[in-house]
Chain A
């Protein structure tokens, strides 16, 4: 199994531009999570899906952030418009059952907004 695959690994964009982060979860995992990691706030859960349906998006910072999961093998996190304070590492994780045996994380996307 290739694990959770995220792309791109690094993204540098100008303030105001749209950014799309992508994630392919592990096949057979029916939960998918998007996390953001910063020095100040650590790992924050943004949103999670169960069977492609968004369950809890209370961690999404504001309306500039949106996430979709059109099928079991693909999810996107979009920021429009991006701002410098969005600079962080964004992780996608997946699991078979919520919280059980931990989540498998991808390698993350390092986003820098200048």
Chain B
């Protein structure tokens, strides 16, 4: 598998439990945030995004929460499944436009116990 998962923080959860993956972003000017999932041997895959004018957004089994006061982003996965095992990255962007950059966090490994 991808060596990118080594030396990253790891969250271990029981199958069926809810998972909460946290991310502290760096730039208070960031106004767009994305969560990505990266499985072994694959590129990062878009999960869900949120703009800074929102504090919560829900998708299928996933919820993203944004706390701009403390620059904190979280991804909640309901009823975690073995297929959710992967490395998860948060990414931030400043006013998506010509000169903005999507900056990725270091990543967190989610391990689902059967």
| A interface, CB within 8 angstroms of B | 4, 37-39, 42-43, 45, 50, 55-56, 89, 91, 93, 97-108
Contact = CB atoms under 8 A, between A and B. Distances in A.
Contacts of B6: 39
Interface string B21-32: 000000000001
Given A37-B4, A45-B102, A56-B101, A91 B44 contact: yes
Contacts of A55: 98
A98 B89 contact: no
B17 interface: no
Given A39-B6, A43-B89, A56-B101, A101 B49 contact: yes
A98 B42 contact: no
A13 to B, nearest CB: 18
A97 B49 CA distance: 14
A93 B91 CA distance: 14
Interface in B62-112: 89, 91, 93, 96-107
A105 B43 contact: yes
B111 to A, nearest CB: 17
B96 A99 contact: yes
B34 A98 contact: no
Contact of B43 (A39, A50, A56, A93): A93
B4 A39 contact: yes
B45 interface: yes
